[in-house]
């Protein structure tokens, strides 16, 4: 049965005891200081919906769209409120109600969530076409001609921010099965993601290399369905369930010691297939087993004991600061492990970032739906990064990587943004004299 705010376990809604400890951690409340823009206020609205005191409305939808889904409130909450479940259920109710009309929005959702993120081959074809557009000179021609002015306002804002597509995706860079050159200790599956695959497939190659260097045989199916995180986050829980079933069929959990994700946002969703498929007798048990096998790559390496590299990733020592992906820190509670891995790398000095787990404004499609708030958060993040004086920002989520890289670029900063695993992989490669 598909749950709604009126049918989910009422205990989840009752957990909030209105203490307000989540308020200082909420970026939207911090901006407006309005109770309704806080976790406590939003939970009160959801409970009123569940109690039948409030009808579904455009105002409620706007409020839930303003929420980043960053889950900082979940970390701060002493009562253990499951905000992720409430948030996804509320967004699912909103989509089902149709209170957010608009033909352009429906077409955009249908094209992305309904088609591209359900068909990995089509997504890669779209990525290749976008690369041709970006590299052929067509992009600058279109911009010079003013044709982008014809786009809807939201797409017009997004167009200059479109990420650069990679020349080759993960299926070209990684063989379906790779064996470690050191004694084999584990068998793992590597999830290549959607955005990661199109924009940062080198991070997937780096992840495979680091796993191989640590005795893991790596299985990476060349074509992988989207994990469904984007669907769940944007109110399409039925599609999210379908994607979860496809991924479980592709990578039966009993076959692996671990199923590895290197994207904080995906990982947070991937390890909650059990609750997502709890009402599906055909997949319930497999989904529970799946959840026990999913690991963020930093977490897995810390668990098995990562071998420290013998060489530095670059010729000169480098100062690195670490930005925490919300869903890695708050959704998966992976906080210490990335820092510990960075400290293992020779030539890297870690400088702490102020408000390191404060959202950068990426948050899925937030920059598209709430551009003003997204920009505020990005400016705040860029300011703190510049205060560190670090030459490199390390972060474990492609959305954060793109967002912060754009913010730094726009601010005229030379600071690079990389995945922590890429620094580790570069250091390993220099041990053998391979190009970093």
- Check binding of 365 to ligand SF4 (CB under 6 A): no
Stretch that binds ligand SF4, among 77-85, 169-177, 250-258, 281-289 (CB under 6 A): 77-85
State the minimum distance, in angstroms, from the CB of residue 405 to ligand SF4.
Answer: 22
How far is the C-alpha of 267 from the C-alpha of 219, rounded, in Å? 17
Q: Annotate each residue in 10-29 with x if it binds ligand SF4 (CB under 6 A) or - if it does not, as one string.
A: ------xxxxxxx--xxxx-
Nearer to ligand SF4, 24 or 252 (CB): 24
Interface with ligand SF4 (CB under 6 A), residue total: 27
Nearest distance from C-beta of residue 195 to ligand SF4, angstroms: 21
Give CA–CA dist 379/25, Å, rounded. Answer: 18
Q: Which stretch binds ligand SF4 (CB under 6 A): 6-14, 70-78, 377-385, 398-406?
A: 70-78
Report in angstroms how near the CB of residue 349 gets to ligand SF4 at its nearest.
31
Strand 216-219 relative to strand 177-178, pairing: antiparallel
Give the neighbor-by-neighbor strand order of the sheet with 258-261.
177-178, 216-219, 186-190, 258-261, 294-296
Strands 177-178 and 258-261: unpaired
Judged by CB under 6 A, the stretch of 72-80, 125-133, 241-249, 287-295 that binds ligand SF4 is: 72-80
Q: Is the dihedral angle over the CA atoms 49, 12, 229, 161 positive or is it negative? A: positive
Minimum gap (Å) between residue 367 Cβ and ligand SF4: 14
| By CB under 6 A, residue 360 contacts ligand SF4 | no
State in angstroms the smallest separation of the CB of 400 from ligand SF4.
Answer: 15
Minimum Å gap between C-beta 75 and ligand SF4 is 9
Long-range Cβ contact pairs of 206-209 (< 8 A, separation 24 or more)? 206/419, 206/421, 206/422, 206/424, 206/425, 206/426, 207/260, 207/262, 207/297, 207/419, 207/421, 207/425, 208/174, 208/178, 209/425, 209/428, 209/429
Burial 220-259 (b: 16+ CB within 10 A, else e): bbeebbbbbbbbbbbbbbebbbebbbbbbeebebeebbbb
328 is a contact residue toward ligand SF4 (CB under 6 A): no
Stretch that binds ligand SF4, among 62-70, 347-355, 372-380, 399-407 (CB under 6 A): 62-70
Per CB under 6 A, the list member of 72, 165, 382, 392 interacting with ligand SF4 is: 72
Distance (Å, rounded) from C-alpha 406 to C-alpha 411? Answer: 9
Among 46, 76, 320, 394, binds ligand SF4 (CB under 6 A): 76
Binder of ligand SF4 out of 5, 12, 81, 90 (CB under 6 A): 81
CB-wise, 21 or 289, nearer to ligand SF4? Answer: 21
Nearest CA-CA partner of 67 in 345, 385, 383, 369: 369
Of 12, 49, 61, 77, the one binding ligand SF4 (CB under 6 A) is 77
Considering beta carbons, is residue 68 or 211 the nearer one to ligand SF4? 68
State the Cα–Cα distance between residues 241 and 187, nearest whole angstrom: 26
Candidates 39, 274, 331, 396; binder of ligand SF4 (CB under 6 A) is 39
For residue 79, the minimal CB distance to ligand SF4 (Å) is 4
Q: Least Å distance between CB 4 and ligand SF4?
A: 19
Among residues 50, 68, 208, 394, the one that binds ligand SF4 under rule CB under 6 A = 68
How far apart, in whole angstroms, are the C-alpha atoms of residue 94 and residue 99?
7
Tokens 């930005």 -> residue: 323
Stretch that binds ligand SF4, among 61-69, 124-132, 186-194, 285-293 (CB under 6 A): 61-69
Give the whole-angstrom CA distance, residue 163 versus residue 201.
Answer: 13
Task: Considering the complex, state which of residue 81 and residue 239 has its C-beta at the smaller distance from ligand SF4.
Answer: 81
Q: Which residues contact ligand SF4 by CB under 6 A?
A: 16-22, 25-28, 39-40, 42-43, 67-73, 76-77, 79, 81, 83
């Amino acid at each position: 049965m598909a749950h709604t705010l009126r049918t989910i376990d009422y205990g989840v809604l009752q957990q909030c005891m209105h203490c307000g400890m989540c308020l200082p951690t909420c970026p939207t409340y911090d901006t407006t200081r309005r109770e309704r823009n806080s976790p406590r206020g939003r939970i009160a609205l959801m409970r009123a919906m569940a109690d039948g005191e409030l009808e579904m409305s455009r105002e409620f939808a706007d409020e839930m769209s303003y929420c980043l889904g960053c889950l900082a409130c979940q970390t701060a909450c002493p009562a253990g409120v499951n905000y992720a479940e409430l948030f996804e259920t509320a967004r699912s109710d909103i989509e089902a109600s149709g209170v957010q009309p608009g033909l352009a929005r429906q077409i955009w959702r249908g094209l992305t969530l309904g088609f591209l993120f359900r068909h990995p081959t089509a997504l890669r074809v779209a990525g290749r076409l976008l690369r041709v557009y970006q590299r052929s000179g067509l992009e600058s021609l279109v911009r010079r001609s003013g044709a982008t002015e014809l786009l809807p306002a939201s797409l017009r804002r997004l167009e200059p921010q479109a990420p650069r597509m990679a020349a080759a995706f993960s299926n070209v860079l990684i063989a379906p099965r790779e064996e470690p050159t050191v004694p084999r200790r584990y068998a793992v599956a590597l999830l290549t993601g959607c955005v990661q695959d199109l924009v940062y497939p080198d991070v997937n190659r780096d992840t495979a290399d680091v796993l191989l260097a640590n005795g893991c045989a790596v299985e990476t199916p060349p074509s992988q369905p989207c994990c469904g995180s984007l669907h769940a986050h944007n109110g399409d829980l039925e599609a999210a369930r379908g994607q979860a079933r496809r991924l479980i069929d592709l990578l039966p959990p009993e076959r692996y010691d671990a199923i590895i994700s290197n994207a904080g946002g995906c990982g947070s969703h991937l390890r909650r297939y059990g609750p997502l498929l709890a009402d599906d007798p055909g997949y319930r048990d497999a989904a529970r087993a799946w959840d026990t096998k999913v690991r963020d790559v930093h977490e897995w390496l810390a668990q098995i004991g990562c071998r420290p590299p013998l060489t530095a990733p670059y010729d000169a020592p480098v100062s690195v600061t670490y930005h925490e992906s919300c869903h890695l820190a708050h959704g998966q509670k992976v906080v210490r492990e990335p820092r510990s891995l960075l400290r293992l790398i020779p030539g890297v000095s870690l400088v702490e970032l102020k408000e390191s787990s404060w959202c950068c404004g990426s948050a899925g499609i937030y920059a598209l739906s709430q551009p003003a708030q997204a920009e505020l958060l990005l400016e705040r993040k860029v300011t703190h990064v510049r205060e560190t004086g670090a030459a490199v920002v390390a972060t474990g989520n492609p959305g954060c990587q793109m967002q912060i890289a754009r913010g730094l670029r726009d601010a005229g900063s030379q600071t690079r943004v990389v995945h922590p695993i890429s620094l580790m992989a570069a250091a390993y490669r220099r041990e053998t004299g391979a190009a970093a």
